Chains A and B, each alone.
Chain A
Amino acid sequence: MNLTSLVFLLFCIIALGIYFIVPKKFQWFILLISSIIFLFWNNLSVSTVIQALLVLLASYIFGILIDKYRDNTVKSKIFLVIGIAIILGQLICLKYTNLFSITINHILQLLHIDFQLGLSYFNSLVGISYYSLIMISYLVDIYRGACKSQKNIFKCALFMSYFPILTSGPFIRYNDIEKDLYGKHKFNYDSMCRGLVRTIWGVFKVLVISQRLGMFVDTVYGDLATYTGFYTVVAALFFPLQLYTNFSGSIDIIMGISEIIGIHLPENFTAPFFSKTLTEFWRNWHITLGAWLRDYIFYPLLKSNAMQNLTKKTKKIFGKKASKKISLYLSMLIMWTIIGAWHGGAYTFIIGSGLLQFLIMVLEDTLEPLSNKINNKLGIKKDVFSYKLYQIIRTYLLFSFTMIFFRASSVGNAVEIIKNMFVWNPWVLLDNKSIFTAGLDIQDFRVLIISLITLFAVDKLSRSGSVREKLFKQNIIFRWGMLYILIFAIIILGCYGVGYDPAAFIYRQF
């Protein structure tokens, strides 16, 4: 179910309506039913039911076992490992087998061996990349003593499948959400208003901005022969915004709905494009993914005996500072490869949202002392607006570059796109005509500019406190006015519905 579809709107109205009508002790059960419906919507089959049950039973059973044998480190560790292996195993089988096959096929081709593995496509459930990691974190948290296992299998199922999270996250921790998820919630008018405002803002970002940007990006990337040079550059610069508005807009919808219910979820985005370095960027973009990887991969890795021994050994050869960096970079490499792979089972994701990010951040780290020296020598000040602006733009450009790989259909396609950018055709931007022929006309651009400025303003404001709170302090005419403008912007300017221009009808022959 698409978060911005009419079906989903209807679904939420019904689900939330029932939620607040039933006796409060059944509320969590209503959430469970809704989540099951959402999970299997248009996707109910023997294979998908088995997939879901597998993860649920593994998490539920091993969760209880780890909890029970908490005092016996050997036993509880074994249960932890088996549980994780099952969940991870199904994730890899369903999402990554083709990656392995493709890789092996490449190798076979290189070795001139005349054999190719076949590719298979499994129908996996919506949210598999989210709930798999969430349930792994559940098991690990039980093992670490951060939380207790859930003894009620239905409540466990709800934690695994809480429907708003299935499409886009955020990653939740059992400890943080337990009370809200199973708790009793009285309908709160203020929460509803605030939640609705956030949801509407999210829908605006997706339908008015993201879809619109997508029309340009898709047109340019879909026809590399026609659209070269500055077309490609603009598309590459548009794409991160398209991704951001789509992703954060979806998160806003998810958070808004949860807020109406009374469930508090962790934030995923805090105005990331105001970051001055890529390192800072990833502290503000997809925050819960970074937190998951930090707590369950990065820290355990860094703290592991293997890594500590490596540090000791390299300390003797390269010195203290260098040895710390080596362990750090090695752990980061592993972490970012996983992050890249999490985004998708293809090399474009591993490179674009993984290795390239790692590379740039390592460069940022290693070049920092050098850049400081140069700045000092040249008298360049770092705490002035102009320098910060340069840093922000530089970060955006770097991120856009990595996203070329992320968006491309293959590594070869990404290289082609980059090559395409080196065609010199600045008139495309200046002749007041050409840029409006790549999927968006001049009116679309006007809408884009105004909405991007609005987005920019709201994000900038958000860094100094909740924008919604500021809105709710204003007078009712202003509040309602802003809301009506947003709603009608979505209804009139949103990119939804039948895909083509009705004005084409005018030119038909009869």
Chain B
Amino acid sequence: MKSLAELAAIRDKMKNSVAMRDGASGIRVVVGMATCGIAAGARPVLNTLVEEVAKENLSDKVTVTQTGCIGICQYEPVVEVYEEGKDKVTYVKMDVDKAKEVVEQHLKGGKVVAKYTIGK
């Protein structure tokens, strides 16, 4: 390595990876990963969320984590978004494409994707 720029490049590349260990940050995205959730396809949803958040460089503000059964098994896979000072948003019957949309619009753009929420 010959330059500070190369050092900075490694740092940026690693930042998303080690940021997870700095403790929970701003927005918390929780995926239901109980038996019902997994059976309904929660794992690809979870993995997509993790990848997209990293790709969009949101790791500093968004923590993707998992939880057990929320109790609405018929709506799985369920993804909930918690943000300080705002109401919890519950997305239901998620899949990989919907997850990408949520990252793009909600986590990045700050706009709730109403059509996937439980009320609709």
A interacts with B: no
A interface residue numbers (CB < 8 A to B): none
